Amino acid sequence: MKKLESRAQAAKMYELAAFISAHADSSLSLSSLAEKAGLSPSHLQRIFKAVIGVSPKEYQDAERLKLFKSRLRGGQNVTQATFDAGYGSTSRIHERIDGGLGMTPKAYRAGGAGETIVYAVRTTTLGELMMAATDRGVCFVSFGESAPALEAQLQAEYPKAVLRSAEAAAQGALDDWMAALDEHLSNGQALPELPLDLRGTAFQIRVWRFLLSVKPGDVVSYSEIAAGVGAPRAIRAAASACGANRLAVLVPCHRALRANGELGGYRWGLERKRALLDAERADRGASHAGA
């Protein structure tokens, strides 16, 4: 009976999520959504978060941002897109840029045109590695087969941005960041703390920030991640958020495993995931032995 009730509740939450998506530009209070679902506001908040992975407000925020993006892509100017998406004022959309657009609305509308992204590529013990950054922080870290292949990946992520090598841009800071990351991978030095330009949905960013709290040498299951971000039933969504991570190593999705201890997936290959975990465990063991 409980399983049937659980399935019915989940179906109701997905139906409500579809309603929010269709009315993302409208003012939707928690009480009005609760009335529509036939639940108390607190009950709705708890069940919706457990099933969908985020609160109703966070879900609407993400859907509204998607609507805003689609309006920009469709050719509307920033002001038109802002009001059509239900923001009410242009200042409201700038509040949503961090972790959403990751660039100004005008730059997003142009597919990143007008934004300069500087990158560097190094050969590490785990293969070719690229790091790229905007003026907000590191926006891309990826392993690949070759520098040209990595450049093609970066171009696909930011098709209209101006891409410049760190050397050509005389950008010493990025080269220093890349050297520090290479020292971590090749020689076991501490992982550098760098400014990050996180770009994703509200739920994805919560998962990535949770992963940033996991210490080197430790691992967590996808179910522990889901619980850690307040959405214990959103295990698949947590795993998907790990898979969507664009910042290899810096956002340590390699520390996420299946509940049975298996490695699970890793967009840069399971051999690299295993190597990263083995190196972190060895470093932690050495530090404990020397303590």
List, by residue number, the catalytic residues.
Answer: 253
| Neighbouring C-alpha atoms within 13 Å toward the C-beta of 112 | 17
**Residues 207 and 238: beta-carbon distance below 8 Å:** yes
* CA–CA distances in Å: residue 279 to residues 128, 130, 289, 291: 18, 20, 15, 18
Q: Which of the 8 DSSP states describes residue 216?
A: T
Question: ∠ CA(242), CA(248), CA(249), 5° rounding?
Answer: 100
Whether 162 contacts 116, CB under 8 Å: yes
CA dist 91 and 233 (Å) reads 35
Residue with tokens 């201890």: 261
| Nearest to 9, CA basis, from 60, 51, 58, 55 | 51
List the beta bridge partners of residue 120. Answer: 131
- Other residues' Cβ atoms within 10 Å of the Cβ of residue 276: 22
Residues 114, 57: Cα–Cα separation, whole Å = 32
